[in-house]
Chains A and B, each alone.
Chain A
């Protein structure tokens, strides 16, 4: 069983829809939770970062972390065609009390927002 499981999708939604992307994990040591967006033939780009449990909002994006359930989510409001990409969750345990160290990624969810 993988440490991080991500809903594989793909997802296809109409423009303006609310999108929900989810990951579950098994490693209790994970404290740092991130969402990355990856366009075709590009490297992943950091979208959201959350430390420990809680919610974080940035424009149309909201990240939620529930450590008790080992479950994280990314919500995209008023989705746009330009949001079409692969979304990757990532998480890390940190090292020496810092956020350093490796990240473990989910397999990614392909999202298509059609006009």
Chain B
């Protein structure tokens, strides 16, 4: 068990480009969450999977954002046509049968 792994750690992209982030959860965890965190703020919920089913999406998740979790294992978060306001830390967390999440170290996105 190596914890929750996120890739890449840092991404710099030009406005208008598409980006994709990957999250590998703890292997036995069936729940996977995506959050976004900006400087000086707490994480904000984006979306949540139980196995491969996407059970909840935040209003923050505009049409430019899409998340998938094929086969209930790793997950990807794609942002299309990035905007400067998308610059943030994107955090993935996984959870098993018990309470509490295990977070990854996040992917820091900078849109220039």
Contact = CB atoms under 8 A, between A and B. Distances in A.
Interface in A3-53: 4, 6, 32, 34, 36, 41-46, 49, 51
Interface residues of B, number: 26
Contact of B41 (A36, A90, A99, A108): A108
Interface string A48-68: 010100000000000000000
Given A102-B56, A107-B40, A34 B105 contact: no
Contacts of B106: 42-43
20 contacts: A6-B42, A32-B99, A34-B99, A43-B103, A43-B106, A44-B91, A44-B103, A46-B100, A46-B101, A49-B99, A49-B100, A99-B98, A99-B100, A100-B31, A101-B56, A102-B45, A102-B58, A103-B43, A106-B42, A107-B41
B105 A41 contact: yes
B42 A107 contact: yes
Given A34-B100, A43-B103, A105 B43 contact: yes
Interface of A: 4, 6, 32, 34, 36, 41-46, 49, 51, 88, 90, 95, 99-108
Contacts of A88: 42-43
Interface of B: 4, 31, 33, 40-45, 48, 50, 55-56, 58, 91, 93, 95, 98-106
Nearest to B97: A98
A49 B48 CA distance: 20
Contacts of B44: 105
A36 B101 CA distance: 10
Contacts of B99: 32, 34, 49, 51, 99
A90 B106 CA distance: 18
